[in-house]
Amino acid sequence: MIDHAPGTPVLEMRGIRKVFPGVVALDGVDFDLRAGEVHVLLGENGAGKSTLMKILSGAYTKDAGDVFIDGAPVSIGSPRDAQSLGIATIYQELSLVPQLTVAENILLGHEPSRAGVIDRAAMRDAARRSLAEVGLDLDPDRRLDRLGIAEQQMVEVAKALFRRARVLVMDEPTSALTAREIDRLFDVIRRVTAAGVAVVYISHRMRELAEIGTRVTVLRDGRAVGTFPLPETSFDALIRLMANREVRDHFPRRRCKAGDELLRLEHVSGPSGAPRVDDVSLTVCRGEIVGLAGLLGAGRTELARLVFGADRPSSGRVVVSGRDVTPKTPRQAIAAGIGFLPEDRKRHGLVLMRSVGENIGLPSLARWSRAGVVSGRTEHETAERWVTELRIKTPTVAERVVRLSGGTQQKVVLARWLAADASLLVMDEPTRGVDVGAKVEIYELMNRLTDAGAGILMISSELPEVLGMSDRIYVMRHGRIQAEIDAASASEERVLQAALGLAS
Amino acid sequence: METGRETAIRDNDLSRRGPTPAAIARRYRASQRLKAVAGLIGLCLLLWILTPHFLTVANALNVMEQTSINAIVAVGMTFVIISGGIDLSVGSLVALSGVVLASALKSGWPIPLALAAGLGVGAATGLLNGVVIAFGRLPPFIMTLGMMSVARGAALLVTDGRPISGFDAGFRSIATGRVFGVPAPIVLTLAIYAVAHFVLSRTRFGRYVYGIGGNEEATRLSGVNVRFHKTMVYVVSGVTSAIAAVLLTARLNTAQPIAGIMYELDAIAAVVIGGTSLSGGEGNLGGTLIGALTMGVLRNGLNLLGVSSFLQQLVIGMVIIVAVLVDVLVKEKRA
């Protein structure tokens, strides 16, 4: 089927560059992929792995650089282009239709038909053949949502093979799998690579690299810093490469002396049903910025939501200023002086089509109204004051939030909690999607707030940010606190090792 | 290296510093309101040219009086739609509240008590809608679709399918009376709009309604008791339906268990023609009033022109489609 000897490059990417407003996501990346190999892409969150793969799959268009397939230049302008070139991506969120059968999913859009009527027998046969290629013995008539995640993933691989994919991109395919399922998935990967398919494999799990990888390319800050053979290369060397970077100077770093305790979590677990947070205890003092580091999916956002009462903990206590407040609703958390800046501002933070003033006032309206009637003057004046104070770039407080830039929107959320007199701020990725100038401004605001006695629990996936801003750092892994590190002795390597579960 | 795209982005950022975007936004919002008003005025001018009977004081009052019932139902509908929901049960609620009110009057209850009974039924049914939607997490469409049938069935059961007619003049004066020469239904409608507008724009409840419709999760994470306020929205809708029922019963001097059929669609049309977005979070009662008047004028004009009622249905339907289509296209162009 595929007439390539193992070792020939199927795919080459040269000098790939991608710029988002305020960020250079990829800065001239070279990457090549040989038939029959599993090429691992390694890098911190935000190093550019996903961006590179999205360019390959046609989800993004590159700003500069060239892509070659079998040595011939190609242009990938859309996911359709990528598909016709034989590039298939298996996403973390599967792109299958749960209500359809296995066969219907594999052949979606390519149904064999006679006079417009689907030939179900031919369809079943074709599906069975593709399933056999990945070594999967599944009834093609089963509904997809009756299968486990691992089997669904393999169906997705079968679907890609049916479409004659020669390059398979797998983005964290094992994140939701058990050890046994991972073994099965690896069997499938070995089978398809033996048939000449090339696999790009993105994972944070170091141990998987050695098991499945042929080569590894390390990305850092949007550059490829090296490609090495596996399993010969040591984890330590790779971690050093991932982390090592020039110290950036735009953190207005400032030591604070921790005052008395503001927040204490005692053995917090939850939420019930999906226990992502497992027995977490930590403290935040007045005037302190505490960083919460960890990989995506380590349970940091879930922890933040528990502290804020957005979800209910199944056990444990949340103590604010010595008082047990363990909030059941955001309302109770707010009453205890907690404010929450969610990671996804647009979905969880702002009412986009409403005004800056309304967004700032939302949690405070109860205090600003008498007999249910809002004092328009108090609302307007308070909003005006915070807009000036935080230098929120908006023409008026009546402007709709949807028209503001990312950094400005973040400041609106911050203003909301300051107007509500929050003394403890839980910030989930406070500078995500924010341009560099606004980032520095937000850092300065954080420092000013802690100067004034507030405490901040900051979740961040950017290691320089965690190291630059925090007085203390907790590292989470699999829902637990893996390490507590003082800022003075923290390094990117130590944090990364803890996040990856390697003893330091 | 700087690409043209980066420059464009930066230029774009620079333009934010001027007062222009706000001015544009204000102008746009004003133009939204103006567009609905202009549509109404244009329609009136057209009818004035086409028929001499249209622009008389008598006919104007007539249109407004006929519009009042739909306009009142549309008040509650505006609350519901801004909150991101829909209420299909309003027409059946008009019937149910009407027959309860009528039975109370017929049983010799004093007028204030009978009114309380009618309004109470509206409020209670709205409460049931709201509780199931907000706490049971049933989609509003499904819950109120079911309630549409439940309330209609209840109205038929209460009356055994027969209309209840003949009330004393005191009660009928709600519809037939005049206040300083203006028909009472018009005064009542304007009063309801004034109060509802105040509630929507100046009270906490009003703010939360916009917040819930705009982004329910963000509103919840701002400490708002979303479920309570969502419930109250349907109570408002139940009460305005019941007020419309009072007016309808007083005007016709009869309460029918089959009254109010298709009222939900007229109310939704008035809200939507008035510029309120069906996806929630946006809109206002001024627009709804204009929307209701537009529907009323259209109906009245078509009657005056002697257009058959079959053709009327068709024309009104098309006007709704075109009005909303224009709105959608304008919004898309802006985005």
Domain ranges of chain B: 4-334
Round the average pLDDT of chain A to a whole number and report it: 86
Determine whether the interchain pair A350/B215 forms a contact, defined as Cβ–Cβ distance below 8 Å. yes
Nearest CA in chain B to A417: B222
pTM over 0.80: no
Q: Decide which of B10 and B214 is more confident.
A: B214
pLDDT for the residue numbered B3: 40
pLDDT for the residue numbered A93: 63
Determine whether the interchain pair B221/A405 forms a contact, defined as Cβ–Cβ distance below 8 Å. no
3-state helix, strand, coil in chain A (%, to 5): 35, 25, 40
Residues A459-470 have a mean pLDDT of 88
Question: Please, what sign has the CA dihedral across residues A492, A498, A500, A502?
Answer: positive
Cβ atoms < 10 Å from Cβ of A271: 16
pLDDT for the residue numbered B172: 95
Query: Which tens digit of pLDDT belongs to each residue from B29-40?
Result: 555 566 778 888
pLDDT for the residue numbered A4: 46
Q: Where does the pLDDT of residue A146 fall: very low under 50, low under 70, confident under 90, or very high at 90 and above?
A: confident
Which segment of A365-374, A409-418, B188-197, B312-321 scores lowest on mean pLDDT?
B312-321
Residues B33-60 have a mean pLDDT of 82
Determine whether the interchain pair A358/B211 forms a contact, defined as Cβ–Cβ distance below 8 Å. yes
pLDDT for the residue numbered A464: 82
Minimal CA separation from A349 to chain B, in Å: 5
pLDDT for the residue numbered A394: 87
Nearest CA in chain A to B277: A353
Mutate to test the interface with B, among A23, A308, A350, A354 (most CBs of B within 10 A): A354
> Does the structure show a pLDDT above 60 at A182?
yes
Round the average pLDDT of chain B to a whole number and report it: 88
pLDDT for the residue numbered B33: 62
Highest average pLDDT, of A34-38, A345-349, A465-469, B139-143, comes from B139-143
Mutate to test the interface with A, among B5, B24, B215 (most CBs of A within 10 A): B215
**Residues A234, A238, A243, A246, Cα dihedral to 10°:** 100
Query: Which tens digit of pLDDT belongs to each residue from B106-152?
Result: 999 999 999 999 999 999 999 999 999 999 999 999 999 999 999 99
Omega prior to A271 cis, within 30 of 0: yes
pLDDT for the residue numbered A413: 96
> Does the structure show a pLDDT above 80 at B13?
no
Residues of B in contact with A310 (CB under 8 A): 220-221
pLDDT for the residue numbered B333: 62
- What is the rounded distance in angstroms from the CA atom of residue B25 to the CA atom of residue B297? 30
Residues of A in contact with B26 (CB under 8 A): 398
How is residue B117 written in tokens? 């009974």
**What three-state secondary structure class fits B183?**
strand
Q: Which helix (H) or strand (E) holds A457?
A: strand A455-459
With contact defined as beta carbons under 8 Å apart, do B200 and B284 qualify?
Answer: yes
In the block, tokens 């033996």 appear at A194
- What is the rounded distance in angstroms from the CA atom of residue A111 to the CA atom of residue A121? 11
pLDDT for the residue numbered A247: 39
Query: Which tens digit of pLDDT belongs to each residue from B58-92?
Result: 888 889 999 999 999 999 999 999 999 999 999 99
Q: Which of B207, B218, B225 sits opposite A331 (nearest CB)?
A: B225
Residues of B in contact with A342 (CB under 8 A): 221
Mutate to test the interface with B, among A362, A373, A434 (most CBs of B within 10 A): A362
Which segment of A176-180, B83-87, B279-283 scores lowest on mean pLDDT?
A176-180
Q: Where does the pLDDT of residue A25 fall: very low under 50, low under 70, confident under 90, or very high at 90 and above?
A: confident
The residues facing A215 across adjacent strands are: A39, A229
pLDDT for the residue numbered B15: 36
Determine whether the interchain pair A403/B207 forms a contact, defined as Cβ–Cβ distance below 8 Å. no
Share of chain B above pLDDT 90, in %: 67
> Does the structure show a pLDDT above 50 at B9?
no
Residues A86-102 have a mean pLDDT of 82
> Does the structure show a pLDDT above 90 at A113?
no
> Does the structure show a pLDDT above 70 at A7?
no
Residues A67-95 have a mean pLDDT of 86
Q: What is the CATH number of domain B4-334?
A: 1.10.3470
Minimal CA separation from A408 to chain B, in Å: 11
Determine whether the interchain pair B221/A349 forms a contact, defined as Cβ–Cβ distance below 8 Å. yes
Determine whether the interchain pair A334/B223 forms a contact, defined as Cβ–Cβ distance below 8 Å. yes
Determine whether the interchain pair B218/A330 forms a contact, defined as Cβ–Cβ distance below 8 Å. no
pLDDT for the residue numbered A259: 55
Q: Is A262 on the interface with B (CB under 8 A)?
A: no
Note the ipTM here.
Answer: 0.79
Q: Where does the pLDDT of residue A134 fall: very low under 50, low under 70, confident under 90, or very high at 90 and above?
A: confident
Determine whether the interchain pair B217/A348 forms a contact, defined as Cβ–Cβ distance below 8 Å. yes
Query: Which tens digit of pLDDT belongs to each residue from B287-324?
Result: 999 999 999 999 999 988 888 989 988 988 888 888 77
pLDDT for the residue numbered B47: 85
